[in-house]
Chains A and B, each alone.
Chain A
Amino acid sequence: MKANISLAVIVIVFSGFFLIQAVRLPMGSVERIGPGAWPLVILCLMLILGVVLLIKELIKHKKHSGLQMDKTAEAQTEETPIEMEVVYPYKHWIVLAVAAGYVLVLPVIGFIVATPLLMLAAAFVLGLKHIGKLITLSLTSSLVFNYIFIVLLSVPLPRGAGIFRSLSIFVY
């Protein structure tokens, strides 16, 4: 329930912020609608729905607290996550950081070097601890990716800069 209230507030702030931007755009006339009119309508509707969601959740919240519902029961009905069993509640942040790191270093060290490093890091974070398996996975997968996307499909993947660029030119 708290999550839904936060969602409603985010929707209201988001649509409010962009509404201010939208009203600055030309609205045009009914015959020739300007670029601002359509986003204005969308953002107004979004704002209204954000308010509706907030009111709906607040009423629900009031009802629940009025009934003095048992906290555990509430947690079970409202906050039950979709996941079956969450064993590592914060691991998604590490995975996201690894992926973001990969994206950041990709233009610098290029696809050929960055990909085995990502495979290694991501597999380790996701639970593969055997060093031999980690190295095999990272090397074989890189070969597979390089063969499919660079050799077969000629996708212009980032080459990197400096020495890494020279290395990539040597390969493709």
Chain B
Amino acid sequence: MPGISGAMLVVILLPITYGMETTPVFLLLTGIYAASVFSGMISAVLFRTPGTPEAIATTFDGYPMAKKGHPEKALGLAIVSSVIGGIVGTVFLIGLTPILADFALRFSSPEYFALAVLGLTVVASLSGGDLVKGLIGVLFGLFVATIGIDVMTGANRFTFHSTTLMSGIDFVPILIGLFAISEVLRKSREESKAKGKMKKLSKSLLDLPMLRKVSTTLGRSSIIGVFVGILPGVGATTASLLSYSEAVRWSKHPETFGTGTPEGIAAPESANNSAAMGAMVPLLALGIPGSATTAVILGAFVLHGLQPGPMLFDNEMEMVYSIFAGLIVVNLLILFLAKPFIKLFSYTVKIPYSVLGPYIVVLCVIGTFAVRNSMFDVMIMLIFGLLGFGLEKIRFPIATIILGVVLGGMVEEQFRRSLVAANGDISIFFTRPISAVLLALALLALVFPIVKKAFNRKDQKTITNNNGRHSL
């Protein structure tokens, strides 16, 4: 549904999970995560409005194909591509996560600190091209995480003698405010009418000869998706755009792209679903989020008293494997339930925002209140809602604030613990090989976009200079 992203859906469903056992909670949340990536393509194909950012590339060829009079073919292909991508992604997730987690068992404080720093560098991709603003967002989040009683010394930090602030500002009100309330405020300024009309889909959604034609693209894009997804900070949106451009590059008829070619639907749809599963690898194995939605899921783990990372495999093995099995089932269910789901979708699109908005507001209030039974938290949520609304208006990357708040406690605590263990010798972070490599990777992740931008500018200058000379 346009306007409700996977991250927001996970956020508004959090209150329902409070009273539940942990395994069903994470089956539900990861299932929603997988299904939301898939469902973004429906409105992308039918209305040229990507339901989620991951489905942007699907509009390029999905909408033209639907417009040509083959919406069922476009949807069918997108569904099968999503399922194949999702399953390939989950298989890699099952294979790679335990290996990575096993390796991470050797970690102690310096490595965890380095890992958290690497996690923070996701900012480079969440910043949307404006690294300064992104870094300000992360630092603001890190600062908010310091408010309250210091866990290591018991000192009060920025509490201004308020007993409510002593226990700190909880992560949930910030998350709900920034993602859900800000969206309600933004939508309130628009006309409350449901857009788009659905045509009846009577024909079968599956077209086997077409699938055979795009099988190579499907395989290639799924693999690209997984590996792009695993990289911290490079999410499913990048994966789908990258695999789309790779599909164009490998195609014998690149000129057909953008006019409704099957490869143009298969590539982004398989890649974004496999990348979404790939992004779960660092989340489960190392405890660092690979994207905004996985950052929200990380928050949900913390909320339920669990810390994703290598220890999760020792302590909660049953839950981790239930999640794996659940993801396979979700991906298969997509295949069988897609058609009725699309029918149901045609009704939900018709719900005006004047009905949906109030529901979201009440869910946000309950969701925030229920964590600590605190009205103060609800106020904080509204303040962050207004803040998120204002910041989004000036294109501030709000997900970076979440990143800072989520990783803030870990990065500070592990940094201080490491220095206590090393008697204040700061070289501990660089002499231990794993932490040194992780910090080097973090530096690379932060510097690479800047260098790339500088090179791009240089290239552009050369091109304009050359063009200038030619025109002379």
Bound together: yes
Stretch from B40-48, B202-210, B257-265, B417-425 that touches the partner: B417-425
Q: How far is the CA of A145 from the CA of B362 in the complex (A)?
A: 9
With A82-B392, A122-B358: A35-B157 Cβ-Cβ less than 8 Å: yes
On whether A39 and B158 interact (CB within 8 A), knowing A49-B132, A141-B359, the answer reads: yes
**A-chain residues with CB within 8 Å of residue B143 when the two chains form the complex:** 18, 39, 42-43, 46
B355 proximity list for chain A (CB < 8 A):
123, 128, 137
B63 within 8 A of A: no
Interface presence of B344 (CB below 8 A): no
Contact B132 A53 (CB under 8 A): yes
Chain A residues within 8 Å of B, Cβ to Cβ = 3-4, 7, 11, 18, 21-22, 25-26, 28-36, 38-39, 42-43, 45-46, 49-50, 52-53, 56, 81-89, 91-92, 94-96, 99-100, 102-103, 106-107, 115, 118-119, 122-123, 125-128, 137, 141, 145, 148-149, 153-158
Contact A118 B146 (CB under 8 A): no
Given contacts A31-B424, A96-B385, A103-B378, contact A128 B354 (CB under 8 A): yes
**Are B394 and A7 interface neighbours, CB within 8 A?**
yes
- Alpha-carbon separation in the docked complex, A103 to B359 (Å): 15
Which has the most chain B C-beta neighbours within 10 Å: A22, A36, A126, A153? A126
Residues of chain B within 8 A (CB-CB) of A85 are 190-191
Q: Is the CB of B365 within 8 A of A103?
A: yes
Closest 8 CB pairs of A and B: A30-B424, A127-B192, A122-B358, A31-B424, A126-B354, A35-B150, A128-B354, A92-B185
Neighbouring B residues of A52 by C-beta, 8 Å: 132
B18 & A3 in contact (Cβ 8 Å cutoff): no
Q: Decide: B354 and A127 in contact? CB cutoff 8 A.
A: yes
Q: Is the interface of B mostly helix, strand, loop or mixed?
A: helix
The reply to whether A95 and B185 contact each other, CB–CB distance below 8 Å, is: yes
B393 touches A21 (CB 8 A): no
Is B466 in contact with chain A by the CB < 8 A criterion?
Answer: no
CB distance from A138 to the nearest CB of B (A): 8
Assess the B189–A83 pair: CB atoms within 8 A: yes
List 29 A-B pairs, Cβ < 8 Å.
A26-B153, A31-B423, A32-B419, A33-B419, A35-B150, A35-B153, A35-B155, A38-B412, A39-B158, A42-B142, A42-B146, A46-B140, A52-B132, A53-B133, A82-B395, A83-B190, A85-B190, A86-B189, A92-B188, A96-B185, A106-B378, A126-B354, A126-B358, A145-B362, A149-B370, A153-B16, A155-B19, A156-B373, A157-B366
Question: How far apart are the CA atoms of A102 and B392 in the complex, in Å?
Answer: 25
Residues of B within 8 A of A83 (CB): 186, 189-190
For B353, what are the chain A residues with a Cβ–Cβ distance below 8 Å? 126-127
Taking CB atoms, residues of chain A closer than 8 Å to B188 are: 88, 91-92, 94-95, 125-126
**In this assembly, does B29 line the interface, its C-beta being within 8 Å of a C-beta of chain A?**
no
Task: Decide if A126 touches B152 in the complex (CB within 8 Å).
Answer: no
Is there contact, CB below 8 Å, between B416 and A38? Answer: yes
B contact residues around A35 at 8 Å (CB): 150, 152-153, 155, 157
- Which residues from A are CB-within-8-Å of B155? 25-26, 34-35
B95 within 8 A of A: no
In the complex, B31 has a CB within 8 A of chain A: no
Complex CA distance for A103 and B361, rounded to whole angstroms = 11
Complex Cα–Cα for A56 and B78 (A) = 43
Question: How many interface contacts (CB-CB < 8 Å) are there between A and B?
Answer: 179
Alpha-carbon separation in the docked complex, A35 to B372 (Å): 25
User: What is the interface size of chain B, counting residues whose CB is below 8 A from a CB of the partner?
Assistant: 62
In chain B, residues 379-412, which have Cβ atoms closer than 8 Å to a Cβ of chain A?
Answer: 379, 382, 385-386, 389, 392-396, 412
Q: Which of B15, B136, B150, B362 contacts A49 (CB 8 A)?
A: B136
B186 close to A92 (CB less than 8 A): yes
Residues from chain B with a CB closer than 8 A to the CB of A32 are: 419-420, 424
Q: Point out the residue from B158, B184, B393 that lies within 8 Å of A81, measured CB to CB.
A: B393
Are B357 and A122 in contact (CB-based, < 8 A)?
yes
Asked whether, in the complex, the Cβ of B389 is within 8 Å of the Cβ of A49, the reply is no
Shortest distance from the beta carbon of A57 to any chain B beta carbon, whole Å: 10
Is B426 an interface residue when CB atoms closer than 8 A count as contact? yes
Contact of B189 (CB < 8 Å), options: A21, A22, A92, A154? A92
B246 CB → nearest A CB, Å: 29
Q: A53 contacts B362, CB within 8 Å?
A: no
List residues of chain A with CB within 8 A of the CB of B186: 82-83, 92
B135 in contact (CB, < 8 A):
yes
Also in contact, A18 and B185, with CB within 8 A (given A38-B146, A99-B382, A127-B192): no
- Whether B284 sits at the interface, judged by CB under 8 Å, is no
B227 interface hit (Cβ, 8 Å): no
Closest to A100 in B: B382
Instruction: Determine if A31 and B420 form an interchain contact, defined as CB atoms under 8 angstroms apart.
Output: yes
CA distance A3 to B395 in the complex (A): 10
Instruction: Name which residue of chain B comes closest to A98, CB basis.
Output: B361
Query: Considering only CB atoms, which chain B residue lies closest to A130 in the complex?
Result: B354
Q: Is the CB of B185 within 8 A of A106?
A: no
- Residues on the B chain within 8 Å of A86, using CB: 189-190
Residues of the A chain whose Cβ atoms lie less than 8 Å from the Cβ of B357: 95, 122-123, 126
